[in-house]
Amino acid sequence: MRSLKDALRRHMEIPGPPVNFTNLQQRFQSAPANSFDALLIKMGPFKAQRDAFLFKNGQGGGWAISDSDAPAVRERLSHFVDEVVTFGNSQVLDALNKLQVNINFTGIGPDINVGLPDFMITEVANGVAKQYRDIVTSAIADNIPFRFGRCGGMAFAGLDFYFAGWPVDERFGTSPPDGGPLRDYIWNRLLDSLDQNGGRFLSWTAELIYLPALSRLATAALGSAAGAAAGPIGIAVGALIGGNADIFNLGGATPVLHNTQDEWPKLKADLDMEAARPIGLIYGNSRAPWDQHQVLAIGYSDPGGVLPMLIVWDNNDGADFRTYTIDFSGSELQVTQFNSNGVPTASDEPIKGIFMEDYTFVQPPANLKLPVILS
């Protein structure tokens, strides 16, 4: 049962009692405006033990993305390739235009700093552009891992059921459905999640993984162009590069850290007004954008002066929650995960980026509404 006590405990920013329905409704703008149940749903909390699916994402072979499913997933991400490739190539072009090298005119005059000649900029930029497109498109064309399930579909569908006020319990089973309306609904919500957020998954993965690769390609291409160039400019560029494999330092974990810092206040503000929000997780060891993860953020704590905490329902956990402590202080994001008992959980996939997803409520099909069992 939902209770006002639980809702007020979640919203510690609200002054203590007395509180009244009218003031709370004006603050949270729940609909319909005269419904106390709608207000409690809007305020939360989303309790994983009560509101989450009991089955786990990825359980069972019938739940993984099949060969027949894969084209629909690839299609969603392919829509964003041009945008990501254009951004990466513009980063290289900008870096080339800003690069200065020192020309030594021994016996003639003082050293001077000059920019790269246009022919060298064009040669390098054009030389790496196709290679970068190949990097991005091959990441999308890679085989979808068998372990990949329907994380975005479960996050979106789980929130749909919560906002609809429909129960989710053992009558849906403790194993992912191999077929039927629930499986179809979660699959369609997965596709919705990619339609709305696939571009960000691809661009953040590109920032973290692909741009550093492009940066190294551009450095090697510039070295080749310098070797073919005659005169002082070729010597100067060669000296600048030396044995360095990457002089541009594009992308990497630090820009993704800064992106996450920008997202954090937006996510907090949303959780102040909503019970939960889908978020995207970008992993440091994952090249394929669909190797990333989608979960529900269901609460946070950020008192200042200590590490902020984010509470999430991870659909890999079933009806349980976990907590992240988030450290923004270094050159890359550091996230430590704890299970619901407060025990640190080891992970092979370090989280290097977190963003708030776009989400639009969809009413679940009527044939998925379970009757309420009164205790």
Within a domain: 357: no
Per-residue pLDDT reduced to its tens digit, 225-252: 988 887 888 888 998 998 899 999 999 9
Within a domain: 22: yes
Within a domain: 9: yes
Signed CA dihedral, 175, 178, 180, 183: sign only: positive
Spell out the residues 6+ positions from residue 174 whose beta carbon is closer than 8 angstroms to its own: 54, 55, 318
Residue spans of beta strands (DSSP E) within 164-308 = 277-283, 293-301
- Give the model's pLDDT for residue 106: 62
Within a domain: 14: yes
Mean pLDDT of the chain: 91
- HSE-up of 57 (CA within 13 Å, CB side)? 26
- Give the model's pLDDT for residue 50: 95
Mean of pLDDT values over 49-57: 94
Spell out the residues 6+ positions from residue 367 whose beta carbon is closer than 8 angstroms to its own: 181
Within a domain: 229: no
Token match 């498109």: residue? 137
pLDDT band at 66 (very low <50, low <70, confident <90, very high): confident
Higher pLDDT, 374 or 46: 46
Spell out the residues 6+ positions from residue 72 whose beta carbon is closer than 8 angstroms to its own: 191
Q: Are 91 and 203 in contact (CB under 8 A)?
A: no
pLDDT band at 371 (very low <50, low <70, confident <90, very high): confident
Within a domain: 245: no
Mean of pLDDT values over 75-80: 92
Q: Tally the domains of the chain.
A: 1
Look at 5-19, 191-205, 359-373 and tell me which has the smallest mean pLDDT.
5-19
- Give the model's pLDDT for residue 285: 87
Nearest to 135 by CA among 198, 208, 213, 67: 213
Higher pLDDT, 198 or 69: 198
Range of the domain at 38: 1-44
Within a domain: 268: no
With b for 16 or more beta-carbon neighbours within 10 A and e for fewer, the 272-301 pattern comes to eebbbbbbbbbbeebebbbbbbbbbbbbbe
Mean of pLDDT values over 334-361: 94
Within a domain: 40: yes
